[in-house]
Structure 1
Amino acid sequence: MGPLDSLNHLLNFLAPAFWMAVAMAVLGRLVLRGRAAGLGRGMQWLLDFGVCALVLLAGLWLTGRDGKMATYAVLVLACATSHGLGQRIWRA
């Protein structure tokens, strides 16, 4: 496998983390409207993307396969939790 194939595999592996973080950064403001402001949109995206990427890596390591539905379920829960903590929902 050449370097371009490796890059393609890496980008496709991280695509769910990227799009989940984008969706949470954009739509999270609508859901949490009127709450105390937390992190900015860019920093919140970085936090959510990092958490999602770690969940994908942990799912790959634990199950030995990429793309398990259990990994994606944990991905959604972890991203929602990190987004809530980043936006300081406990101060509402």
Structure 2
Amino acid sequence: MTYIKNMNILDLIWHLAGFIAPALFVALGVALAAGIFAEKKAFARRFGRQVGLNFAVGVAVLMIGLALTGHDGRMLTYAALVVAVATNQLVLGKK
């Protein structure tokens, strides 16, 4: 806890950005990959929504992984991130 007290705001922003970056990149990658199989016009309308929902699911998985393991960046958490975001995209694609 002492480390957090000694952290300035810029360090905190960089830590948070590094924590959520995997969720953002997986969300973008999965949504773009889904666009290959979708109709272009319908895909363009839903792309932002898909990325946003995938990102929210990804951040939730990362936070759960951090809470369960006590560390961020565990490979099991990243595997769960990919599975959860891909499953979410599958559900979104059916709508």
TM-score norm. by structure 1 comes to: 0.86
Any gaps of 5 or more consecutive residues in structure 1? none
Any gaps of 5 or more consecutive residues in structure 2? 1-6
Identity of aligned residues (%): 41
Say whether 1:83 aligns with 2:89: yes
Say whether 1:61 aligns with 2:67: yes
Q: Whose helix fraction is larger, Structure 1's or Structure 2's?
A: 2
Find the aligned partners of 1:73 and 1:57 in 2 and give their Cα distance: 14
Stretches of 4+ aligned residues off by more than 3 angstroms:
none
Say whether 1:27 aligns with 2:29: no
Counterpart of 1:8? 14
Question: Root-mean-square deviation (CA), in Å?
Answer: 1.7
Greater RCO (Cα-Cα under 8 Å, separation 6 or more) = 1
One-letter amino acid of the counterpart of residue 85, structure 1: V
